[in-house]
Amino acid sequence: MKYTHGLLCLAMVAGGCATLKSLESQSHREYFIDVDPILPETQTYYVDPIDSSVVWSEKGVQVKVKFYDDKMLDAEYGVLYTPYTLTGVDIPDLDYTPPLWTVFEVTVINRTRERVELDPNNTVLRLDDGSRLLSRQGVGNWYDRDEYYDYSYLKWGGQAGNVQYHAHLDRNPLWNKSAFRREKPVRKGSKYSGKLTFPPLPEGTKSFTLEVDGFILAFDRFAVGYGNPVEFTDLQFKFNVEHGVRWAEKK
């Protein structure tokens, strides 16, 4: 009886191992990120119920901020062509695809002012540990090479990964078409929208704030291209974030 019981236990252990291997073969590791807005106790900021963007609104002027994860970016631009993600690229020494950027779509809507303007060079991503990430659209160095490694060469150039698959593509047209550009005044009755990009969030980040310094509300001359800014305001869009790497079932 003891011998039979031992064989049964061995069979159960073997079966358990087989089941575990089967589950591993049916799953993979993936990066995930969930971002939720933190609204201040003021009616100036609210969440748009239609597109879930966070909105700053005052006297007919709105600035809308919407976070985009890699799935949303791939759906909008296509896996092969998007300059915003690494989907489909083999990353050395990693068994998952990391994010290439932290991406927001920013939309400025002007209904009442002669013209307003948001300069992406005056935006930073302030992390919960006090550090800052600079936007790619900013002037000068937007990251420290000792702290941030850019994997984009694997998709757009170099000698590794799936370069032969992607090298014939040029990311610049999509960058130029989709990125939030500098010196884009928004006149009364119009709007302007574009993607604002920062380096990926460091591991352990629990919250961050998108800071917009010196959003221009008025100039001393009405004609676009003339006059000096005379009225400003600073905006802050705060978010909680949960992100990391997890096991997921293969589709």
Three-state SS string over the chain comes to: CHHHHHHHHHHHHHHHHHHHHHHHHCEEEEEEEEEEEECCCCCCEEECCCCCCEEEEECCEEEEEEEECHHHHHHHHCCCCCCCCCCCCCCCCCCCCCCCCEEEEEEEEECCCCEEECCHHHEEEEECCCCEEECCCCCCCCCCCCCCCCCCHHHHCCCCCCHHHHCCCCCHHHHHHHECCCCCCEECCEEEEEEEEECCCCCCCCEEEEEEEEEEEEECCCCCCCCCEEEEEEEEEEEEEEEEEEEEECC
Tell me what pLDDT residue 13 has: 45
Tell me what pLDDT residue 148 has: 63
Tell me what pLDDT residue 150 has: 73
pTM: 0.83
The per-residue pLDDT for range 109-154, each reduced to its tens digit, is 999 999 999 999 999 999 999 999 988 886 655 666 656 667 877 7
Q: Which of 21-35, 178-192, 205-219 has the lowest mean pLDDT?
A: 21-35
Tell me what pLDDT residue 188 has: 95
Tell me what pLDDT residue 146 has: 59
Tell me what pLDDT residue 137 has: 81
Tell me what pLDDT residue 147 has: 60
pLDDT bracket for residue 80 (50, 70, 90): confident
Does the pLDDT at position 195 exceed 60?
yes
Tell me what pLDDT residue 161 has: 42
Q: What is the mean pLDDT of residues 169-190?
A: 87
Tell me what pLDDT residue 102 has: 96
Tell me what pLDDT residue 145 has: 60
Q: Which of 22-36, 139-153, 172-186 has the lowest mean pLDDT?
A: 139-153
Does the pLDDT at position 92 exceed 80?
yes
Q: Which of 68-77, 155-164, 181-190 has the lowest mean pLDDT?
A: 155-164
